[in-house]
Amino acid sequence: MEGRTSEPSPAAAVVPRKRRRRIVESPCGWWEGGEGKLPALNAGDVFFYGHTHIPVAKKKGDIYIINPGSVSLPKEGTPHSAGILCGDRFKIVSLDGSVYKQIDFD
């Protein structure tokens, strides 16, 4: 057809996002050895875990470590909390909706 090209218009261009593998892993007792017992991870991976009732949102080296905490039985003086993943940001929020911790994935 006249006037059409095979190139997408700038508004239709797709910008590729960095790909990363997200791992949901929570073998019972893995945390007894601390972070030294993490499974094999690649740079940029995100490791989600639970069962400790302690919220964590941090970057260690080239990986991200996430635990949303506990809605029912928080420990170590932390608030009752839950996690929200939105795009490349993870928030740990207390039940009143305030942000307790957050991390942006590079």
Confidence class of residue 9 from pLDDT cuts 50, 70 and 90? very low
* Distance in angstroms (rounded) separating the CA atoms of residues 89 and 106: 9
* Token representation of residue 34: 């601390």
* Token representation of residue 78: 């932390």
Tell me: the pLDDT tens digits for 29-40?
A: 556 556 667 777
Looking at residue 14, what is its pLDDT?
43
Tell me: the pLDDT tens digits for 60-80?
A: 898 888 899 999 999 999 999
Looking at residue 72, what is its pLDDT?
95
* Token representation of residue 88: 């490349």
Has this prediction a pTM greater than 0.85?
no
Looking at residue 10, what is its pLDDT?
41
Q: Are 13 and 31 in contact (CB under 8 A)?
A: no
DSSP state of 72: S
